[in-house]
A and B are shown apart, each in its own frame.
Chain A
C-alpha cells in the first residue's frame, strides 16, 4: 500500500487533515500527536475497505465451516424421547440407543436432570434411573412419553421398534404412574412444541384439547404443574392416553386391549417390535390391570376409569374440588377414583408385570 505524504493542515483528536503535494486535501485517521501543524507527515494506510470486508467474510466463512465441521463430529440424535410425569424432560438418543443429551423442560425436570448423570447411559438404564428418581412413591399422575425420530438418516433397522420396546418395557416394570402411554410424535410437532416452549407431551395435550373444541392457554400449558393439568384436563388426557393411532385399527382382531381402554399403557407404534405383543407388553407379560382383577376390585376400578362417561368424570372432577367439605369418603364411595387415585400396584401385580 502506497504511503501518503502531505503537509499537516489541521490536527483533530482522532483524525487530521493533510494537503498532499499534488493538491488533494485528505482526512487521515491519525491525529499525529507528535507533529506540529505545517510539518510534513507520512501515513501508511491500513487495509483498504474491500480488503477489510474480504477478511471479515473469510473469517465468517471459516467460522461457518468450523461450525459445520464441529456439528458433523457432534453425536447426532437419532431419536428424541420426552417424558411428562411431573418433571418434563427430553432425551436425545444416538443410533445405538444411548442417551447423548438430556434437556429439562420444566423446573422439576431441571432438578431431576441435575441429580442424575444420564448421557452415556443406554436408554433402558437412563429411563430406569429417571423414573426411580423422579417418580414419587405417592405419585399417581399419568405419564406421557413421546417418541420423535431424529435427523440421522442411517439408523439401524428396527431402531424405532427397539426404542419403543425399551420404553414400554421400562415403563411397564417401573412403579409407574397410574397410566402411561408412548406416543409417536412427528418432528414437526416436536419443533412446534419446542418453539412454544413446552414439552411435546404437553403440546399433544393442547392439540387433543383443540380437537375437542377446548383451548388450553399456552401460559397454562407452560406454567401449570403436570398434576394440575392432568386434573383440569382429565378427559382430554384420558383421550390422549387411550387414543388409537390412525395407523392402528381401532378394533384389531384378537386384540382385547385395543377394544378396551385398558390399553392405556400400550405403545403407539403400529410396528410392534419382535417379541412384543400388539398391546405393547412383552410376551408372557400381562397388563398390570389384568393382575389387579384378583378380587381386590382395583382392576375394575381402572377399567371404569378408562371407560367412564365424560359427564360422570366431570361430575367427579367437580366433586373432587369439594374435598374440603368433608364428604370425600362419601363421594369416593359412590364414584370410583380416577387414575391418580388408583393405589400403587400391589407387589404381586408388579412382579407379574415384570
Chain B
C-alpha cells in the first residue's frame, strides 16, 4: 500500500492532522483540476469554485473505497468535477442540459445505486487512462522519444532499474534540472552524474528510460494512473514546485 493510501486510511479513521496535511499538500492538484474544468485561472480566497473543489476533495477522502480499483487522485478528480458541475447547474440552469448526462451518472448523489456508480467509475477511469496514455505518448514525442525507446532502454536488472528510478525521481524533483531537460530536451547528464554518483555512460545508455519516468514523476497530477501504478517509494510531491 502506497503512502497516500495509508494517509487516506488514517484520515478516514478520524486523524485530522493527516487529513489537513493531505488537503494542504494537494492544493495545487485541486486548483489545477478546478482550473481545467472552469477553463480559467482561479485563486484561493477569491473564487468559490476552489472552495467547492477543496470540499469535494475532502469528501473524496471520506468516500474513497479501495474496491474502486482506481488511484485516489483519479477518484478525487472525478468527485471534484461532479461537485463543480453541480455548482454550475445550480448557478446556470441553461448549462445543466448539456451536462445532465454526466451529472446523472456522477453517482455521489444520495440514493444513487452503488453498482451504477462503480460501473460509471470504471468506464470513466478506463477512458481517462486511454487519454492519459495518449497524452504521455505525445509528450514523449516532444523529447524525440517513442514508447519503443522506453522498452529498448528499460533495464532488465532490478537493481539497475531501482537506481534509474531514483535518478528519474531526482530529475523530476529538481526544478533546475527538469527545466534544463524541458529547455534542451537533453538529459542533464553531468549534474545527475555528480548528484547520484553514476557514470555518464550509464545515464546516456538509459537516457530515454530516465526521461520517460521523470515526466511521469514530475507530473503526477497529469499522469495519475501511470504514477499511481508504479509501486515505488513515495516521493515528495513535486507538483507544488512548478
Contacts and interface: CB of A to CB of B under 8 A. Distances in A.
Contact of B154 (A26, A36, A38, A40): A26
A232 B140 CA distance: 82
A24 B161 contact: yes
B209 A38 contact: no
Contact of B225 (A7, A10, A22, A25): A7
A253 interface: no
Contacts of B158: 22
B126 interface: yes
Residue among B126, B133, B155, B225 with most chain A CB within 10 A: B133
Interface stretch (B32-40, B59-67, B227-235): B227-235
B67 to A, nearest CB: 15
Residue among A7, A19, A40 with most chain B CB within 10 A: A19
Given A9-B147, A25-B209, A19 B226 contact: yes
Nearest to B134: A37
A39 interface: yes
Residue among A17, A21, A25 with most chain B CB within 10 A: A25
Classify chain B's interface size: 20 to 34
B150 interface: yes
Interface in A1-50: 7, 9-10, 17, 19, 21-27, 36-40
B196 interface: no
Contact of B231 (A17, A22, A27, A39): A22
Interface residues of A, number: 17
B139 to A, nearest CB: 13
B5 to A, nearest CB: 14
B232 A23 contact: yes
B151 A25 contact: yes
Interface in A44-93: none
Contact of B129 (A21, A23, A39): A39
Contacts, number: 59
B177 interface: no
A30 to B, nearest CB: 14
B155 to A, nearest CB: 7
B126 A36 contact: yes
Interface string B201-227: 000000001001100000000000110
A23 B232 CA distance: 8
B137 interface: yes
Contacts of A9: 133, 147
Nearest to B126: A36
A26 B128 CA distance: 22
B9 interface: no
Contact of A37 (B130, B151, B161, B213): B130
A36 B130 contact: yes
Contacts of A37: 129-130, 133
B156 A24 contact: yes
A25 B133 contact: no
B55 interface: no
A17 B150 CA distance: 10
B23 interface: no
Given A7-B226, A19-B229, A38 B129 contact: yes
B86 interface: no
A50 B229 CA distance: 32
Residue among A21, A24, A36, A38 with most chain B CB within 10 A: A38
B133 A24 contact: no
B133 A38 contact: yes
Contacts of B230: 19, 21-23
A38 B224 CA distance: 11
8 contacts: A10-B137, A17-B150, A17-B151, A19-B229, A25-B147, A25-B209, A25-B212, A37-B130
Interface of A: 7, 9-10, 17, 19, 21-27, 36-40
Given A21-B229, A23-B154, A38-B225, 18 more contacts: A10-B137, A17-B147, A17-B150, A22-B230, A23-B161, A23-B213, A24-B155, A25-B150, A25-B154, A25-B209, A25-B212, A26-B154, A27-B148, A36-B129, A37-B130, A38-B130, A39-B129, A40-B229
